[in-house]
A and B are shown apart, each in its own frame.
Chain A
């Protein structure tokens, strides 16, 4: 499965999402709330666009010299007694960590939230081992795990699609006896997970940023679970996407500020930690510190027009402004990376064949590009994916090309165009119905095309199934006719220029 979260076809997933009213209301509420918080936090920071310029420059610099900074980072981890493994594929990363768990004879694995560990599906591999328990310690990830590893719906708020009653019902299975108050539910998880933390012998974390010149990792959380994951077990494995590198703590610090403001409207996450292997004399922290640096298809973006997607710091702001995400939620995308970032990243990591439709789940409104703290031109990259799919990979086997060529010929010839305008209304009549409930007043008095046979070409369905396409009007009412009959009789009056007024 890799980054795929579903084997259902895209349109089926979208149809399911459209039925999920709670999810849609929750996503809309989250987007609106985050809009207010994010805007306030950024405004308070001042010079937001200049901060974005700086953040973009940091990310681009790190990518430009990626091998050099990774080499420096690995060297510094090794100098402190840590171990670094470079994994080209998700399988290598997964097998490596599995081997390590077996070698260490670990029984209680604890994890803190990390997208890349979802990418390599480490949970499934480790739970399949005999006598090994795995527990997600982030509250949301824990809720998903207890619901039979349900799919996340957002990269920052994975349980957006669940309500407090569903969570209460899940926790009851674990012995919770309280009400549906989030504070009480969270308190229960604190106790449940604390017991597990005290026994944990193997910790797995992600990495927001790796600090090249120190050989340390930088993690941002609000709950503190990542810090406890780094404190208690004697062995820690850090799993990081290879692009998550910065030269020094200074650049990480800039990005930490940008990340928190963009993700949750905070100035900084509650816990922002720079961490490495246990030092001599310290009594807790990882005796054994391992870093797995994962490529898993990222190299395909390097050196191409898609390279800017590797600037991403996983703040999720692009999801929070996306009108498509607002309607179909995370599950509609079928990738662990949903929303605009997912539309760009999923075809690169998971292949065009698996995520062919995602670049089309976009209105190209560019709200994502506008909000991105590291200035990834998301909507342009989404458009570029479409070009790759059409012109390079020729993935469209429908009649679209033929239809568009025919339209080109028709609109290029005044005679044919005139004929089309004359017959359009009558010709479309069998495929239309009059106004439907929910239609916007004043838009569809003439009816709309919404009654096409199933056998109609994909392009035609695309215009009618998802969009509202009005019926062409009768010839006597069309624009050309109207324009001819409404030419102004008198020329427009010339407006006299005001004489320059002196300033007071």
Chain B
């Protein structure tokens, strides 16, 4: 028996399949034309709102998806985070493995060296530490990570997977807090997607772009909404001004 696995990525497997469906459809191959949308509705979403209005909309929509929404000045951020750790009674904290300049940008150079929590783990950028990172994320009470954008229309934050902030970082900890620069406030999912497309064209390498709207939830048991099924049981967005 020929191994099916050997057929993966083979021209023969691909061509046979694609020729068959082209024939069934009665349309020749290699005729694709660029998609020209018949309207520009995605570009019009919240287009009439000022930055202040957008921030208010973002707050309303974030709270509607059960996310905690905060705005904080850069200078106050360190004390805000310590207070947050105390409020949720976190004992273990997970931080991304970014170099100091990223933290300095948020005024957290000193804080990151000694957050007020019993135990802090930093996401390892050593590719051999897959298991170690997963366990740290699994055991963390809180992960504090960086997000790129906050989407006003849907109450969504966006995070790219990177060597410093991997997938498990965003999904396994009990609580999750994302720091978003105020400049990252966008109107719509369309606007965020366009920004990522531009970044990827400029060389951004990532295996996953995550759009996260509040804490994990499910309505699978009698359609009663339950929060925190697999991912974080709560989710906080902190919009940081004056970067």
Contacts and interface: CB of A to CB of B under 8 A. Distances in A.
A290 B190 CA distance: 28
A86 B156 contact: no
Q: Would you call the interface of chain A mostly helix, strand, loop, or mixed?
A: helix
Given A54-B37, A270-B65, A253 B217 contact: no
A65 to B, nearest CB: 4
B9 interface: yes
Given A50-B39, A249-B197, A271-B231, A223 B61 contact: no
A283 B134 CA distance: 9
A284 B212 contact: no
B5 A99 contact: yes
B38 A53 contact: yes
B205 to A, nearest CB: 5
A139 interface: yes
B133 A251 contact: no
Interface stretch (B72-80, B112-120, B121-129): B121-129
**For chain B, which range describes its interface: under 10, 10 to 19, 20 to 34, or 35 or more residues?**
35 or more
Interface string A79-121: 0000111101000100110011001000000000000000000
Contact of B222 (A182, A225, A230): A182
B56 to A, nearest CB: 16
B98 to A, nearest CB: 13
Interface residues of A, number: 108
A35 interface: no
Contacts of A271: 210-213, 216, 231
B42 interface: yes
Interface string B207-243: 1111111111111111110111111100000000000
A130 interface: no
B183 interface: no
A96 B5 contact: yes
Interface in A245-262: 247-251, 253-254, 256-257
A182 B229 CA distance: 11
Interface string B158-198: 00011100111011100000000000000001100110110
Interface string A258-292: 00000010111111111111111111111000100
B213 A269 contact: yes
A295 B231 contact: no
Contacts of B34: 247
5 contacts: A65-B33, A266-B65, A267-B213, A270-B213, A271-B216
Interface of A: 26, 29-30, 33, 47, 50-51, 53-54, 57-58, 61, 64-72, 74, 78, 83-86, 88, 92, 95-96, 99-100, 103, 137-140, 143, 157-160, 162-164, 167, 182-183, 185-187, 189-190, 193-194, 197-198, 214, 222-225, 227-228, 230-232, 242, 247-251, 253-254, 256-257, 264, 266-286, 290, 293, 295, 299-300, 302-303, 307
Given A54-B41, A194-B138, 5 more contacts: A67-B25, A186-B226, A224-B216, A267-B213, A299-B21
